[in-house]
Structure 1
Amino acid sequence: MAKVELGAVVAIAQRIAETTIATEAAAVDQQARWPRTGMKELQRELGGLVVAERLGGLGHGLPAVARVGEETGRAVRR
């Protein structure tokens, strides 16, 4: 997997948050269920976020995880 810069990672998280996670947030909350669709999309595009590049991951650390969490949380609160 090629290195994806942090700005691109955040943009991907933003897009997923706005197009998938936020659109299902009310139903997920109301039904008290796991946000399966949004999580699958995050996994598909950002899986391996903190895995070293030499092992096939994106090579980012916990700050990237925090940024992804910020973006997904921000979209749900809108």
Structure 2
Amino acid sequence: MMAFTPAHQRAWPETSTVSAAVDYQDQAIRLEFGYENHPIELIQASPMAGVAMVGILSAIAIPAYQDYVERAEALSD
């Protein structure tokens, strides 16, 4: 089994960071871009982003729950 670090022990970044790296090896050039963000920044960016996220999750969760209820009722009969 895999062991996961609990959320309260993770070292979340305080703000977003952007990075770029250029590497040259064996006659090949490699360019890497990195972007790390704090998980809450997605919601804090704008109030509409939070509303959109709740809407998307609801659009997935509500039909799945309704299907679950229908299957449970069919099995109980």
- Fold match, TM over 0.5? no
Q: TM-score, normalised by structure 1?
A: 0.28
Q: Which structure has more strand as a fraction of its residues?
A: 2
Q: Which structure has more helix as a fraction of its residues?
A: 1
Larger Rg computed on CA atoms: 2
Q: TM-score, normalised by structure 2?
A: 0.28
